[in-house]
Amino acid sequence: MSAALQTLNMTRILPGPVPVTLIEHANLSIGKGEFVAITGPSGSGKSSLLYLLGLLDRPTEGSVMLEEKETSHLGSGELARLRLAKLGFVFQFHFLLPEFSVLENVMIPMRKLGRLSGDAMKTKAMRLLKSLGMEGEARKRPEQLSGGQRQRAAIARALANDPLVLLADEPTGNLDSKNAHNVFEIFRGLAEDQGQTVVVVTHDPHLSEHTHRQIHIVDGRIVDA
Amino acid sequence: MRLIAEIAATHLTHRKRQSIVSILGVAMGVGFFIGMAALMQGFQTYFVSKIIDVWPHIIMKDEYRLPSLQPAQRQFPQGAVALHGLKPVEELRGIRDGKAVIAALNRIEGIHAAPTMRTQAFMRYGAKDVSATLVGIDPELERQVSQLERDLKVGSLNELHTAANGVILGEGLAAKLGVEAHNIITVVSPAGVILKMQVVGIFRTGITTIDNFDSYTLLKKAQILANRPNVINQIRIRLRDVGNARVVASSIESRYGYRTEAWEETYENVLGIFVIQNGIMYSSVGAILIVAAFGIFNIISTIIHEKTRDIAILKSIGVAELDIRLIFLLEGLAVGMIGTVLGWALGHALVEILASIRFNIEGFVRAEGFILNESPYHYLIAAGFALISSSLAAFLPARKAARLDPVDILRGAA
């Protein structure tokens, strides 16, 4: 099984009068099709690890490899291009653009990538929304949706460009337990039925135990992968 | 690219009121610039064209630019002895051998020269006693160097010959004296000569100083009044190409030694006022546009502050820094462009309104309303000003937005 994401001796230190070590010497390999949870107590560096894996942040030392290609020497424009084409993000907060409809929000990454025609983008976005039970909400604005629906719209947007890896940072953190369960089931369905590589940060043990693999992190160090 | 433009548009429409205020700020700057520029340039070009039209392009005077050297100084330029209390020799005023100079100048292609004798005089009519400048001319040659004949409201130049002691007065001067054509006035010169003269014509050039103070008579009469027979003290020169006035004036001066002024030098004080006027116009319009630029800076900073989360998500999706910067630059540019177009309309309306106002002014020139010069250059300059200042105003916040670290924002929001 080839690796989708790999880190080599990756360290991230926040500079400042008192430097803070977020991640220390992390060695990690996430294979294609894996469903991985990053767990740990709050403040342990779960999100920091996810941002590094998602090429949103750069390691101070060591490297991150996407599909076994080194990324540390790439410029910010090239990293943005990689995120657009290969990665999809879901955050605790939905981060949908409030002025655009759900459908338009889902189409933003496609339009930025520009590989499909306008009609094909619309068809694909509608298909994604339908698969998440959101086809009835496509024309609505984010503020007209419930919390669970917003998060599903955000997931549809993350999947817009068929990402190699779907990265989620506490995607159920703002949801009640029923909605949280539904959203987690979506991730599991994506991983198990469609072979989507999923990395999800969560502090909820009920959720993480349903993943294939847990990466436990304490004080910036991976203690159990 | 369309996506970028769409996002920019939603930001502006989302903050409608602020956007409109910023747009109006730019429109005001552009509109007032166009209005003021039309006003200023209209007046200035009118004045200059009037001057070139009615006034000789070059005047040679019976003066020297530098005081003449004392004989001792001429003899010993390096001398170490200083002499005080020296009195210069009193020279006979006037251009020496003036007729020959005029004949020589008139032989040059594109140059017309005419002799004048210029003297001060008191004019009396009834109880009025007005000081004036009396210019003695040779009507035949004068026709070649000025538009006096055309500017005559009453009478003709030929009547100077036919009347016994004919004099032509400026309109303002005649009004001050309260005379009409064919009235007889008394003219007293500084030399003590008194002549009864008949008003044979009244002229109006439109230039206030000329109309209020100048009068014309035959060269010979002026020489009699000044008690300086056969003397001419000014040579008026008109060129076919007025653009050369300065060059020709300085070459004539270096040839004959007499002070020779091109019209730019004679009217230097007025032209200097124009420079100051333009400076005031550009700086006040610049100030309006700077205020407008602050408005743009303000609205874009507010939008960025409000949209930090959107910026973070766009960046995490993979929208590059350059695109983020472009979004906000576009917003500034959109405000600038819409403001410019509105400002053009405003400026044009302003010019139309100013043009419709009728009143009498008597400044450097006499006019019955604002003299306006609406030029496409003003529209372009205003647009350039507005677009440059609005994109500069947008550039700083846009750069800040592009540099926002999504990780910081996500961490803060989560």
Q: How many CB pairs under 8 A join A and B?
A: 79
Predicted ipTM beyond 0.95: no
What CATH number is attached to the domain comprising A26?
A: 3.40.50.300
Structural domain count, chain A: 1
Residue numbers in A near B314 (CB within 8 A): 108
Q: Is B411 on the interface with A (CB under 8 A)?
A: yes
Query: Residue B13 has what DSSP assignment?
Result: H
CB-CB neighbours of B103 under 10 Å: 11
A142 touches chain B (CB under 8 A): no
Q: Is A67 exposed, middle or buried (0-12, 13-18, 19+ CB in 10 A)?
A: middle
Q: What is the pLDDT of residue B134?
A: 94
| Cβ–Cβ gap B319/A112 under 8 Å | yes
The residue of A92, A108, A169 whose CB has the most chain B CBs within 10 angstroms, and thus the best one to mutate to test that interface, is A108
Owning domain of residue A97: 3-224
Q: What is the overall mean pLDDT for chain B?
A: 88
pLDDT digits (tens, 9 = 90+) for B244-279: 888 999 999 989 888 999 988 888 888 888 899 889
Contact B200, B242 (CB under 8 A): no
Q: Does the beta-carbon distance from B410 to A170 stay under 8 Å?
A: no
Q: Give the tens place of pLDDT for each residue, B350-404.
A: 999 998 888 877 777 777 788 888 889 989 989 998 899 899 999 999 998 988 8
pLDDT in tens, A22-41: 998 889 899 988 999 999 88
DSSP-derived secondary structure letter, A162: -
CB B135 within 8 A of CB B117: yes
Inter-chain residue contact B309 with A93, CB threshold 8 Å: yes
State the DSSP string of B372-411.
----HHHHHHHHHHHHHHHHHHHHHHHHHHHH--HHHHHH
| A79 Cβ neighbours under 8 A, 6+ residues apart | A55, A71
Residues A129-183: tens digit of each pLDDT? 998 888 888 999 999 998 889 999 999 999 999 999 999 998 888 888 888 888 8
Partner A contacted by B1 (CB < 8 A): no
Residue B39, token pair as written in the block: 């006003």
At B390, phi and psi to the nearest 5?
-75, -35
Which residues of chain B are under the pLDDT cut of 50? 414
Beta bridge partners of A13: A21
